[in-house]
Amino acid sequence: MPVKGRNQSAQALSVHGRLFLIDCGEGTQYRMVEHHIPMMKLDSLFLSHIHGDHVFGIFGLLSTLGMKGRQTPLNIFAPPAFGPILKFFLSYYGDGVGFEIRFTPLKMKEPEVILETKSLQVEAFPLNHGIETFGFRIAEKEPPFNVHKEAIEQYGLSLTEIGTLKRGEDVLRADGSRIPLSEAAYKPFVPRSYAYCSDTAPFPEEAVWLKGTDVIYHETTYLQEFADQGAQRHHSTTLQAAQLALDAGARKLLIGHYSSRSARTEEYEAECRSLFPESYATSDGDSYEI
């Protein structure tokens, strides 16, 4: 239900020069303008399910991209039920869309890679929400080694030797000497990962599938006192989300998708922190670095 100052589901994720949009609730394009998120750079759109609070912004966004003259194809990953919605949109408003929409229906029963680049991969996996619903996990791949600049001068490294170090190998020279990888090269970062889980009730496989994820966003529609309603409507409570983060070994839990009956997000955060201290109640416009 509409709540003042609290908009519908939509998240922008910037990773390695790519801009991903996860869900597209009502008014998403206005929020993108408000927060200076360049919608023309949008690479892919991931829709968890077709409930209105997660998709009612899609018509406006696609229309605006067309009006702005987008030419680059747009990837949309969504449940098969989104297909007729997209077909309806294109049949009435498609004349204004001058770019290709590449729709990939999600049909997996366990985690599957749906998008992969040299530096990252995106997995989709089924959630427990009464209708076909999917979560998403975005993870960086292990980066190649970087070579210390001073090592290049110190050892007089050739291009071939630099390539050897970047592959993670020691350099063995013709004279029998060895240049250890540990002295000449380093990993620029430890791969990071992010997962989006909304909407869903708890289920046993979730923590297994998200094991080791750095940051998890998980819906907490209900405070714990309304756990019975959560079970009836296939949603999660604060403590259920916190337990998931604990079981998955996450570093941080972001929560959202609050019930319209609750105005104070501090209560949600406090309940989660009673079980998982690194829990943070999100608000519109918040930005997090992973």
The residues annotated as belonging to the active site are 53
- Residue 23 contacts residue 9 (beta carbons within 8 Å): yes
Q: What's the token pair of residue 4?
A: 């003042």
* CA nearest neighbour of 135 among 214, 70, 216: 216
Q: For tokens 């350099």, what's the residue? A: 171
DSSP letter for 251, please. S
Strand ordering across the sheet containing 11-15: 11-15, 18-22, 42-46, 74-78, 101-105
- Helices within the chain (DSSP H only): 28-34, 52-55, 58-67, 82-93, 149-155, 159-166, 181-184, 205-209, 227-233, 238-248, 265-273
